[in-house]
Amino acid sequence: ECPSNYKLNCFPNVNELATEEHFNIPDNSISTTLSYILSLKQLNKLTIKRVNFTFEQIINLIRLTPNLPVLKLDLLSFKGIQQNENFEYVSNTNKINTLEIRESCSLENFPEGVGVGVDVEKP
């Protein structure tokens, strides 16, 4: 049973995470909240389905998943993207080698520097 204060990883053996449309964290601490529940460092597949995460929230999440080889996205808004320290860090250090983009995303709007060296799959 997960402790009420979430100070320990509740699911230490999880290596894949999929979010659905009902996944909602009220503030801007998606990465922090998830890191209390599971070990983000051991994730090898992250699927974000129909969730209103901002691009910055996804970048922050990827920063905490340094060994993530597979990222799948359904919806993603590139509005208001700023190349900040987290963006630069993730662009230079991520290990993503497979990026699957659903029809709701478009490569034309993909920010420069993201996905460099990545095999892009469009289902």
Q: What is the pLDDT along the chain (123 residues), one digit of tens a residue?
A: 454 555 566 788 899 998 887 676 666 678 888 888 888 899 999 998 867 777 788 888 888 898 999 999 876 666 656 677 888 888 888 889 988 877 555 555 555 555 444 454 545
**pLDDT confidence of residue 117:** 47
Q: In this structure, is residue 9 part of a structural domain?
A: no
Q: In this structure, is residue 68 part of a structural domain?
A: yes
Q: In this structure, is residue 5 part of a structural domain?
A: no
Tokens of 122: 């469009």
Q: In this structure, is residue 66 part of a structural domain?
A: yes
Q: In this structure, is residue 6 part of a structural domain?
A: no
**pLDDT confidence of residue 49:** 82
Structural domains of the chain, count: 1
Q: In this structure, is residue 115 part of a structural domain?
A: yes
- The residue range of the domain holding 115 is 16-121
Q: In this structure, is residue 70 part of a structural domain?
A: yes
3-state helix, strand, coil in the chain (%, to 5): 25, 20, 55
